């Protein structure tokens, strides 16, 4: 499990996302955040294959 | 004796019971039980008696609209009901009164259901259980102070206790199947696109499903037959013929795949849950089906991509509220949405790419199988106050994979555990095989006998 980000770095992340939380809740979130980072790491290992893309295809009848 | 929807429909059709009697029974039960179960946010008594009298009038002149006519029913309070507040169990929407019914609400009303009220949910289908909201969390009828799971918490509690005979749920990561499991009822997340979500407050649109919850799979089939259908107002609604929802099927020659690694390695379940899955597999064998093990991608892979998609989409849905009125959310939801706000666009796209991979790998692994079988929940209900704020980050659940896939998945009760609370299995089908999934649930319920036991709510003792 990754380590929690330093408080100042985590606070900057929240500001960038436009999120304002009470101090206690922000600290609680900072401590939970490594679990999200651990999940995110799994998305890139192994790297997605080239054909795996969020594609959109027109269906029959869409031209009408 | 609380009837199933199917039993009540037969008795209404035979004029053995009046919809007005059923509604009065339901109201009496609500008056007796809901002060402890908190399944209802709002009881619509006047509307219920109006609906019941109209159904009784149709009954008397032989003009019943079908098996749902006169059935006491409740809607999860994210289903918009015209003229009736729809709060999402949140202070954010305390005064929200929709102008009109959503698609499925309208279809169920047209089928004659008797609306008993609006049912508790985790806040905006993502936030509970929480004690800092305008209404308390629903409690499990099988054990005072125990968790219903969520988010369709009120529907689970109201159906299990017989306050309603059926209700609506929504399922983005397991919100129908989780409460169905812990409350000992049936609930199906249909194929993505089968039931319109228009008029249902969204959580994460690429994962959101609408579906029914009831005491039995047979009742879910009756409800799904009405809820299903194309709706141009839902961009994900499929325009295709209604699926065959008949429950009489031939089981010889069918292949059932048990996803054993989900519930034995990826997130090991309790002995009672495992026993229920094994007994369910044995029932299928006894009916003539072939049961084999199947290996899918790991639950952890599904869960990581699913949770990231869900939380990022949920933040997008609630972004404006999170910036302008964050303190009107409960603490749990505020924190979960904030975490979703920390998912970057690259993270989200990688999760959607991984989802594409998981769908392809699962389709390959499940090729040749008619149905899949695994757990619906790891075990019995915990106490509400023992559910951690970040429980959803601790272990992968068994339901998210089928939101990612969009495949139909049903929870059926398979018995009771050490605390005498329900345990369950999950039966999964291929897209548009909702009828086969429900037929399988019906067959299992008939064989395992667990539909005969209801919670004795009046005798609840603190667990």
pLDDT for B463 beyond 60: no
Cα–Cα dist B229/B335, whole Å: 36
Any chain A CB within 8 A of the CB of B365? no
Any chain A CB within 8 A of the CB of B28? no
* Residue B431 forms part of a structural domain: yes
* Residue A29 forms part of a structural domain: yes
Cα–Cα dist A53/A59, whole Å: 18
pTM over 0.90: yes
Any chain A CB within 8 A of the CB of B350? yes
pLDDT digits (tens, 9 = 90+) for B59-102: 999 999 999 999 999 999 999 999 999 999 999 999 999 999 99
Q: Which of residues 372-401 of B touch A (CB under 8 A)?
A: 389-390, 393-394
- Transcribe A10-46 into DSSP letters: HHHHHHHHT----HHHHHHHHHHHHHHHHHHHHHTSS
pLDDT for A52 beyond 90: no
Any chain A CB within 8 A of the CB of B144? no
Per-residue confidence (pLDDT) for residue A55, from 0 to 100: 76
Q: What's the Cα-to-Cα distance from B190 to each of B77, B186, B202, B207, B444, rounded to whole Å?
A: 19, 13, 16, 12, 18
pLDDT digits (tens, 9 = 90+) for B368-406: 999 999 999 999 999 999 999 999 899 999 999 999 999
Domains contained in chain B, number: 1
Per-residue confidence (pLDDT) for residue A59, from 0 to 100: 67
Per-residue confidence (pLDDT) for residue B458, from 0 to 100: 55
Paired residues of B213 in beta bridges: B167, B187
pLDDT for A5 beyond 70: yes
What angle, 0 to 180 degrees and rounded to 10, lies between the N-to-C axes of helices B5-13 and B19-37? Answer: 150
* Residue B339 forms part of a structural domain: no
CB B173 within 8 A of CB B207: yes
pLDDT for B125 beyond 80: yes
Contact check, Cβ <8 Å, B304/A40: yes
- Averaged pLDDT, B114-138: 97
Residue of B338, B340, B389 to mutate when probing chain A, most A C-beta within 10 A: B338
* Residue A61 forms part of a structural domain: no
pLDDT digits (tens, 9 = 90+) for B316-361: 999 999 999 999 999 999 999 999 999 999 999 999 999 999 999 9
* Residue A58 forms part of a structural domain: no
- CA proximity to B43, closest of B77, B92, B4, B7: B77
Cα–Cα dist B293/B316, whole Å: 39
- Averaged pLDDT, B133-153: 97
Q: Which residues of A touch B (CB under 8 A)?
A: 13-14, 17-21, 25, 28-29, 32-33, 35-36, 39-40, 42-44, 48-49, 52-54
* Residue A24 forms part of a structural domain: yes
Per-residue confidence (pLDDT) for residue B129, from 0 to 100: 94
Residue of B335, B342, B343, B355 to mutate when probing chain A, most A C-beta within 10 A: B342
Task: For residue A6, give how far its alpha carbon lies from the nearest alpha carbon of chain B (Å).
Answer: 15
Q: Using a CB-CB distance cutoff of 8 angstroms, which residues of chain A are in contact with residue B360?
A: 52
pLDDT digits (tens, 9 = 90+) for B393-450: 999 999 999 999 999 999 999 999 999 999 999 999 999 999 999 999 999 999 999 9
Exposed / middle / buried, residue B265 (Cβ in 10 Å: 0-12, 13-18, 19+): exposed
Any chain A CB within 8 A of the CB of B318? no
Q: Using a CB-CB distance cutoff of 8 angstroms, which residues of chain B are in contact with residue A28?
A: 335, 389
Contact check, Cβ <8 Å, A40/B393: no
Per-residue confidence (pLDDT) for residue A47, from 0 to 100: 87
Full residue range of the structural domain in which residue A30 is found: 7-43
Cα–Cα dist B322/B316, whole Å: 10
pLDDT for A62 beyond 90: no
| CATH number of the structural domain spanning residue B441 | 3.90.1300.10
- Averaged pLDDT, B119-135: 96
Paired residues of B424 in beta bridges: B413
- Averaged pLDDT, B253-259: 98
* Residue B178 forms part of a structural domain: yes
Candidate from B303, B326, B350 with C-beta closest to A44: B350
B114: left (phi over 0), alpha (psi -120 to 50) or beta: beta
* Residue B61 forms part of a structural domain: yes
CB B326 within 8 A of CB B289: no
* Residue A56 forms part of a structural domain: no
Per-residue confidence (pLDDT) for residue A51, from 0 to 100: 82
Q: Using a CB-CB distance cutoff of 8 angstroms, which residues of chain B are in contact with residue A13?
A: 342
Supply the residues of B annotated as catalytic: 76, 151, 175
Task: For residue B293, give how far its alpha carbon lies from the nearest alpha carbon of chain A (Å).
Answer: 26
pLDDT for B305 beyond 80: yes
Full residue range of the structural domain in which residue B69 is found: 5-298+353-459
What is the three-state SS of B2-54?
CCCHHHHHHHHHCCCCCHHHHHHHHHHHHHHHHHHHCCEEEECHHHHHHHHHH
Share of chain B above pLDDT 70, in %: 99
* Residue B174 forms part of a structural domain: yes
Per-residue confidence (pLDDT) for residue B193, from 0 to 100: 97
Contact check, Cβ <8 Å, A33/B390: no
* Residue A16 forms part of a structural domain: yes
Any chain A CB within 8 A of the CB of B356? yes
Candidate from A17, A44, A49 with C-beta closest to B357: A49
Candidate from B339, B349, B353 with C-beta closest to A32: B339
Per-residue confidence (pLDDT) for residue B460, from 0 to 100: 46
CB B371 within 8 A of CB A42: no
Q: What is the mean pLDDT of chain B?
A: 97
Q: Which two tokens stand for residue A36?
A: 């999200």
CB B55 within 8 A of CB B19: yes
Which region among A59-63, B54-58, B311-315 has the lowest average model confidence (pLDDT)?
Answer: A59-63
Q: Which two tokens stand for residue B311?
A: 């939380």
Contact check, Cβ <8 Å, B341/A17: yes
pLDDT digits (tens, 9 = 90+) for B222-244: 999 999 999 999 999 999 998 99
Per-residue confidence (pLDDT) for residue A64, from 0 to 100: 62
- What values do phi and psi take at A19, rounded to 5? -110, 125
Task: For residue A33, give how far its alpha carbon lies from the nearest alpha carbon of chain B (Å).
Answer: 7
Per-residue confidence (pLDDT) for residue A49, from 0 to 100: 84
* Residue A27 forms part of a structural domain: yes
Cα–Cα dist B213/B223, whole Å: 8
* Residue A32 forms part of a structural domain: yes
């Amino acid at each position: 499990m990754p380590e929690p980000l330093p408080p100042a770095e985590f606070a900057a992340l929240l500001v960038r996302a436009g999120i304002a939380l009470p101090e206690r809740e922000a600290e609680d979130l900072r401590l939970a955040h490594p679990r999200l980072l651990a999940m995110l790491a799994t998305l890139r290992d192994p790297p997605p294959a080239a054909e795996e893309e969020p594609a959109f295809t027109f269906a029959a009848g869409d031209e009408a | 004796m609380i009837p199933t929807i199917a039993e009540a429909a037969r008795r209404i059709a035979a004029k053995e019971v009046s919809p007005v009697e059923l509604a009065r029974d339901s109201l009496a039960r609500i008056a007796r039980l809901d002060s402890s179960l908190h399944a209802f946010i709002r009881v619509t008594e006047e509307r219920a008696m109006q609906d019941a009298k109209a159904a009784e009038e149709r009954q008397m002149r032989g003009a019943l609209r079908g098996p749902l006519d006169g059935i006491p029913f409740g809607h999860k309070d994210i289903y918009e009901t015209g003229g009736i507040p729809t709060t999402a169990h949140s202070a954010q929407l305390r005064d929200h009164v929709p102008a009109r019914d959503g698609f499925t609400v309208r279809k169920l009303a047209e089928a004659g259901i008797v609306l008993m009220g609006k049912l508790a949910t985790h806040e905006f289908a993502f936030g509970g259980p929480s004690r800092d909201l305008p209404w308390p969390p629903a409690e499990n009828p099988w054990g005072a102070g125990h968790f219903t799971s969520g988010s369709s918490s009120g529907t689970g509690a109201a159906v299990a206790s017989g306050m309603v005979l059926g209700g609506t749920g929504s399922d983005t990561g397991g919100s129908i199947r989780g409460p169905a499991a812990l409350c000992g009822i049936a609930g199906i997340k249909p194929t993505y696109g089968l039931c319109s979500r228009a008029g249902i407050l969204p959580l994460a649109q690429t994962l959101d499903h609408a579906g029914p919850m009831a005491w039995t799979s047979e009742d879910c089939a009756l409800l799904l037959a009405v809820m299903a259908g194309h709706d141009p107002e839902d961009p994900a609604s499929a325009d295709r013929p209604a699926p065959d929802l008949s429950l009489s099927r031939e089981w010889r020659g069918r292949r059932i795949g048990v996803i054993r690694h989900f519930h034995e390695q990826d997130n090991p379940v309790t002995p009672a849950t495992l026993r229920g899955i094994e007994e369910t597999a044995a029932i299928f064998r006894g009916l003539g089906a072939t049961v084999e093990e199947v290996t899918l991608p790991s639950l952890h892979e599904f869960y990581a991509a699913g949770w990231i998609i869900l939380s990022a989409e949920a933040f997008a849905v609630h972004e404006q509220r999170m910036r302008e009125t964050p303190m009107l959310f409960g603490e749990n939801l505020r924190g979960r949405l904030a975490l979703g706000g920390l998912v970057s666009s690259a993270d989200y796209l990688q999760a959607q790419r991984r989802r594409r991979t998981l769908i392809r790998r699962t389709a390959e692994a499940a090729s040749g199988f008619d149905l899949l079988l695994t757990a619906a929940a790891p075990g019995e209900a915990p106490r509400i106050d023992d559910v951690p704020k970040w429980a959803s980050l601790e272990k992968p659940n068994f339901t998210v994979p089928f939101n990612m896939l969009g495949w139909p998945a049903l929870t059926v009760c398979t018995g009771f555990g050490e605390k005498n609370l329900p345990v369950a299995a999950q039966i999964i089908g291929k897209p548009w095989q909702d009828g086969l999934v429900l037929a399988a649930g019906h067959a299992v319920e008939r064989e395992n006998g667990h539909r005969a036991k209801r919670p004795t709510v009046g005798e609840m003792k603190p667990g």
